[in-house]
Amino acid sequence: MSSLTDKVVATLTDEIRRGALRPGDRIPTEVEMMKQLSVSRSVVREAISRLQAAKVVETRHGIGTFVLEPGKEEPMHIATADLSSMLDVMAIIEFRIDVEAASAALAAARRTGQHLKQIRSALERFESELERGSTDVLAHDIEFHLQIARACGNRYFFDVLSQLGRAVSPRTRLGSAEIAELDHIEHLRNVLAEHQLIYRAIERQDADDARAAMRMHLSNSRERLRRAHALSAATV
């Protein structure tokens, strides 16, 4: 995550910690934060996305973004400790296939130009890392999926996928050998190509193609996980 995004997150977190922003308060608007902190709209949105994932704030569409009560009970919770085996990791991917296929279809039908810009930005950051020879793309991968969920116009998709994408990313439950296998540049180029297909379908507002492209991408991800696990087990 960029230092500018960290700056926005740190500023808002500090204001909440000091009591300048209390539970139930609406945080400054995107435009206000852009002016106050001299950052772009995309930086502000990425920072808010991170705070939403951490359950520090919640966005009420058409109203604003509000500070949550600390430790507020959530209707759904998936504990990382529960993901203790490869079967659990595969089950998360299986769950995401149908949820994110629907999310992509809705995003294609409902996205705005700004939504498309945010999805493309995450995609371009992923691509830039690979062009530099870096495999540090996990944050951009997650952001790509979250921005699609944001574009679908249904906050519950974003709420669910924020937890699955950031707090319970399947990669965080894998061994080092499995991660090394998944981090091969060629594997990540395949992921990028799949993301590009999803993006293009959303860009042209083809809901059926977006659904199919997302389903194919996550099905392929499940298969890549299975192969990585099998290869790492074979070398033990």
Tell me how far apart the alpha carbons of residues 144 and 202 are, in angstroms, rounded to a whole number.
Answer: 12
Range of the domain at 27: 3-67
pTM: 0.63
Asked if residue 176 is part of any domain, the answer here is yes
Q: Is residue 74 part of a domain?
A: no
Asked, for residue 202, whether it belongs to a domain, the answer is yes
- Report pLDDT digits (tens) over 156-185: 888 888 777 554 455 555 555 555 555 678
- Shared-domain flag, residues 100 and 173: yes
Of 42, 67, 92, the position where a domain reaches its end is 67
In this predicted structure, the answer to whether residue 138 has a pLDDT above a threshold of 70 is yes
**Percentage of the chain modeled with pLDDT above 70:** 80
Q: Are residues 214 and 124 in the same domain?
A: yes
Look up the CATH number of the domain holding residue 167: 1.20.120.530
Q: How many domains does the chain have?
A: 2
- Whether 187 maps to a domain, the answer reads yes
